[in-house]
Amino acid sequence: MTWEIVIGLEIHVQLATKTKLFSGAKIGFGAAPNTQTTLVDLGMPGALPVFNEAALRMAVTFGTAIDAQVCKHSVFARKNYFYPDSPKGYQTSQMDHPIVGLGHLDIQLEDGTTKRIGVTRAHLEEDAGKSLHEDYDGMTGIDLNRSSTPLLEIVSEPDMRSAKEAVAYMRKMHAIVTTIGISDGNMAQGSMRCDANVSLRPKGQEKLGTRTELKNINSFKFIERAINIEVERQIDILEDGGKIVQETRLYDADKNETRPMRSKEEANDYRYFPCPDLLPIEIDDAYIEAIRQSLPELPDQRSARFVSTLGLSEYGAAVLSSSRHLADYFEAVVDVCDDAKLSANWVMGEVAKYMNQNNIEIEQCPVSAARLGQLICRIKDDTINGKGAKTVFEGLWNQTGEVDEIIASSGLKQVNDVFAIDLMVDEVIANNPKQVAQYLEAQEDKRGKMLGFFMGQVMKASKGSANPGQVNGLLAKKLNALC
């Protein structure tokens, strides 16, 4: 049987406000426990919430950025459950009247096509505190610093058909929220995390299969792995004639498996009701339009500009605009070297390769955009060749000096001196009579390929520093003269 994979994502984005959703307590990562709380965040009886305008503005900004319906009337609701890191006994969230309604987002697939993913809704809610289960004399420690931190929960339609599409959607969402500045998007610190709803159905069937929910996935890599491993698990069950149990599962990255969360008894009976402590939020068209007008250039627009004004390929433009930081880095390189294509090749080539090897993001890249720009300038003015430039890049990555210092100290300066190259070419021709004879006997259309051997020898003799264009020209001229 051929199975179709159906995926929907719920993404939680921590909004980059200075203070909490409902109190004037400061928000900051890594503060000492319970130093960023007020009576409201502690859920003290009688302490009343006051809604943060910046959180509202950010939610509306998001709604306009994905061309969604922004609701002029929205209502906070209580989602009731008991857990000690939520001292009120409920989470303030939105249920029937979320701030953002139907919208959509386009993702680029690997084959170059674009697919539209529906966004069902996005609503404001508060985060809970943290439970620390290490041993405190058999008790659990509670840190409420994160309590009442504003979150935007973005719910997608079940429109994705593979783990790769889910990653592309999450990346696009990341690019948007960081571009419009509503979140730092730091996944390692939990500023962006997602739950994935995964189900299978026989290909061609309309009715959705039973789904499982994978909780709290906090990296792009884990989204793909978690979904793929869950799909495999579901296929095994279905092909053995079994049934999928609707449940919440956790992805264990160390074991690369998903397993059911210990079921909280009837945990889904949240008994939502409108929060009596908060009045309905009313905004008008002028408020929404002013925000729409102030939107910055969005990732899709930036990508289109990379194609139209910088001459990049659709693919290159999509990759480089996939994160605001990457796009900023790329544009800063172009500003220095004034060569968009070389800049794109380097950012998607060496920079991406080193980042992958070291498992870091562009924000932590030790080679600044200014330095990479200078390096590309040195390729363009023939100071070094492409191969030498890779060695210089390695030096820059390891922070051994500035571009020109590394070029000078490592003897990578390209030899553009025609006489010096001429001498090396003559020497190589003289030292390899057998290959020269073969070259002369060969058909003309085979010679181009055979030239590579001599190129290699000259480049070796020059320790990689000869200008490859000049070597190639001289070699062809001298060898053809022997015919």
Partner 1 sequence: MAIENADIEKIAVLARLQVDPNEINDYTNSISSILSLIDQMQQVDTNGIEPLSNPHDATQRLREDIVTCDNQRDAFIAIAPATQDGLYLVPKVLD
56 binds partner 1 (CB under 8 A): yes
Lookup: tokens for 428: 């190589």
The set of residues, in sequence order, having a beta carbon less than 8 Å from that of 53 and lying 6+ positions away, is none
136 binds partner 1 (CB under 8 A): yes
The set of residues, in sequence order, having a beta carbon less than 8 Å from that of 31 and lying 6+ positions away, is 145
Lookup: tokens for 25: 């307590």
353 binds partner 1 (CB under 8 A): no
Q: Find the part of the chain contacting partner 1 (CB under 8 A) among 112-120, 131-139, 177-185, 230-238.
A: 131-139
Total chain residues near partner 1 (CB under 8 A)? 55
Binding to partner 1 by CB under 8 A, coded x per residue (else -) over 24-53, reads xxx-----xxxxxxxx--x-------xxxx
Of 102, 245, 253, 279, the one binding partner 1 by CB under 8 A = 279
23 binds partner 1 (CB under 8 A): yes
CB atoms within 10 A of CB 90: 20
CB of 252 to partner 1, least distance (A): 15
Of 280, 296, 311, 448, the one binding partner 1 by CB under 8 A = 280
Q: 101 or 401: whose CB is closer to partner 1?
A: 101
What residues does 282 pair with on adjacent strands?
73
147 binds partner 1 (CB under 8 A): no
* Radius of gyration of the chain from its Cα atoms, rounded to whole angstroms: 29
- Report strand pairing: 273-274 vs 77-80: antiparallel
Binding to partner 1 by CB under 8 A, coded x per residue (else -) over 217-256, reads ----------------------------------------
Classify the C-alpha dihedral 45-47-51-55 as positive or negative. Answer: negative
The answer to whether the CB of 14 falls within 8 A of the CB of 153 is: no
Of 7, 99, 180, 281, the one binding partner 1 by CB under 8 A = 281
CB of 124 to partner 1, least distance (A): 11
The answer to whether the CB of 20 falls within 8 A of the CB of 166 is: no
80 binds partner 1 (CB under 8 A): yes
3-state secondary structure 347-380: HHHHHHHHHHHHCCCHHHCCCCHHHHHHHHHHHH
Of 59, 119, 142, 214, the one binding partner 1 by CB under 8 A = 142
Q: Find the part of the chain contacting partner 1 (CB under 8 A) among 14-22, 236-244, 306-314, 400-408.
A: 14-22
Residue at token pair 């070699």: 475
Half-sphere exposure of 449 (CA within 13 A, CB side): 6
132 binds partner 1 (CB under 8 A): yes
**Positions 89 through 118 that interact with partner 1 (CB under 8 A):** 97
**Positions 59 through 78 that interact with partner 1 (CB under 8 A):** 75
The answer to whether the CB of 203 falls within 8 A of the CB of 3 is: yes
CA distance 468 to 237: 59
266 binds partner 1 (CB under 8 A): yes
CB of 206 to partner 1, least distance (A): 33
Q: 141 or 158: whose CB is closer to partner 1?
A: 141
The answer to whether the CB of 376 falls within 8 A of the CB of 339 is: yes
The set of residues, in sequence order, having a beta carbon less than 8 Å from that of 58 and lying 6+ positions away, is 15, 16, 17, 150, 152, 182
Binding residues (CB under 8 A) for partner 1: these are 17-19, 23-26, 32-39, 42, 50-56, 75, 80, 82-84, 97, 131-133, 136-144, 261-262, 264-266, 269, 271, 274, 276, 278-282
